[in-house]
Amino acid sequence: MRLHDFTALSFDCYGTLIDWETGLFTALAPLQSAAGRQAPRDEVLAEFARHEVAQQAETPAMLYPELLAQVHRRLARDWGVAPGEAAHLAFGRSVPDWPAFPDTPAALQYLKRHYKLVILSNVDRTSFAASNLRLGVSFDAICTAQDIGSYKPDPRNFHYLIDAVAKLGIDRGQILHTAQSLYHDHAPAKAQGLATAWIDRRDRKEGGGATLSPADRPAYDFRFVTLKEMADAHRALL
């Protein structure tokens, strides 16, 4: 199997293209300060991950800014503070502030010359539109949790992706799903018969950070530490 064997790259956005761990940790700093906490970054992110997954399971149709606000409320209860409704809503609206990884725009611009590019994201359309301004490319299809009515790793999200890419004239065998999260993306993508490329942004770090770690590590077909590394590998094959 080679990178040249595919026609479409489907991307998770947050954690893969956008540095959501930095964005989340920065946006949670006021709540940590109000609680008088100085917990390590990965500890905070793991607490967020636990609450986010639980909230997504409870309210799969909730729009992502509302879901983030609810996660903020849950964390506030855990940390023994009541910062007020404005703080919860501000966290929910923080997605546009989350930075892109520095290598993302140039790598996407290169890959755009060789593939159809598709987004499969656990956010809403408005939040993604703001992030898209940081990414530097136009995507051929955009699939959000708002469109689908559920959050990854629900199989429905991957069925929706496969159908969306089919409308571009591309079957599932020509899709390479490219993502950081083994839990949200690789395990369910493999269950749907998709090839996957792991962008291991947490290279050599313990734990899953802002995503849960699956009980069993799923298979993947390619592994790169950055998206630039993936683009360079494709360039080297030309």
CATH code for residues 22-97: 1.10.150.750
Where b means 16+ CB within 10 Å and e means fewer, 59-84 reads eeebbbbebbbbbbbbbbeebebebe
* pLDDT one-digit tens code per residue, 185-210: 999 999 999 999 999 999 888 888 88
Mean pLDDT of 63-69: 98
Q: What local confidence, expressed as pLDDT, does residue 216 receive?
A: 84
pLDDT of 214 over the 90 cut: no
Residue 222 CA to residue 61 CA, distance in Å, equals 32
Catalytic annotation, pick one of 12, 19, 103, 124: 12
Structure tokens at 26: 């920065």
Phi, psi at 38, each rounded to 5°: -135, 50
Q: What local confidence, expressed as pLDDT, does residue 212 receive?
A: 87
Domain covering 3-19+99-237, topology: Rossmann fold (3.40.50)
pTM for the predicted model, two decimal places: 0.95
Q: What local confidence, expressed as pLDDT, does residue 180 receive?
A: 96
Tell me the chain's radius of gyration from C-alpha atoms: 17
Q: Judging by beta carbons within 10 Å of its beta carbon (0-12, 13-18, 19+), is residue 236 exposed, middle or buried? A: exposed
Residue 12 annotated to the active site: yes
Domain ranges of the chain: 3-19+99-237, 22-97
Q: What is the mean pLDDT of the chain?
A: 96
Mean pLDDT of 139-154: 98
Between CA 224 and CA 22, with CA 144 as vertex, the angle to 5 degrees is 50
**Sign of the four-CA dihedral 33, 34, 40, 45:** negative
pLDDT band at 25 (very low <50, low <70, confident <90, very high): very high
